């Protein structure tokens, strides 16, 4: 059974601080995606990681993928309130199957 685990589940951080969200998965895959979800809204694609060692950055967010360790990280630099949301990782298996992590609910406090 495939498991995709994120931690922490809940994260409260002060503006200006740095933090990392972790996504561990239990099967072989070299394709991993990060999504953002605002309360009551749908999911918005953030990053697409397609190979071992892939690193993508957008603003204050940086995502990386280590396929050997089956680990992806989402690093937040100098957090701002606008980053408050729930973040999901998703593992891409064969034939279009995406399996999502449990999500990390991020609250950035002024």
Partner 1 sequence: NAGVTQTPKFQVLKTGQSMTLQCAQDMNHEYMSWYRQDPGMGLRLIHYSVGAGITDQGEVPNGYNVSRSTTEDFPLRLLSAAPSQTSVYFCASRKAGQDYGYTFGSGTRLTVV
> Given the rule CB under 8 A, which residues bind partner 1?
4, 6, 9, 31, 33, 35, 41-43, 45, 48, 50, 88, 90, 92, 95-103
Looking only at the bridges linking them, the beta strands covering 61-66 and 32-37 are: unpaired
| Minimum separation from the CB atom of position 17 to partner 1 (A) | 25
- Residue (56 or 70) nearer to partner 1, CB: 56
Residue among 107, 27, 43, 36 at smallest CA distance from 74: 36
- Residue (73 or 102) nearer to partner 1, CB: 102
- Residue (18 or 97) nearer to partner 1, CB: 97
| Minimum separation from the CB atom of position 36 to partner 1 (A) | 11
Cα gap 68→29, rounded to integer Å: 9
| Minimum separation from the CB atom of position 32 to partner 1 (A) | 10
| Minimum separation from the CB atom of position 52 to partner 1 (A) | 15
Token code pair at residue 19 = 């933090």
């Amino acid at each position: 059974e495939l498991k995709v685990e994120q931690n922490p589940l809940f994260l409260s951080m002060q503006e200006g601080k740095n933090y990392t969200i972790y996504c561990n998965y239990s099967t072989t895959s070299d394709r991993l995606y990060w999504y953002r979800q605002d309360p009551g809204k749908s999911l918005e694609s953030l990053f697409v990681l397609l190979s071992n060692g892939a690193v993508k950055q957008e603003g204050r967010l940086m995502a990386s993928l280590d396929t050997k360790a089956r680990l992806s990280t989402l690093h937040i630099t100098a957090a701002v309130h606008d980053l408050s949301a729930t973040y999901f990782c998703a593992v891409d298996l064969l034939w279009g199957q995406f399996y999502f992590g449990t999500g990390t609910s991020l609250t950035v406090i002024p």
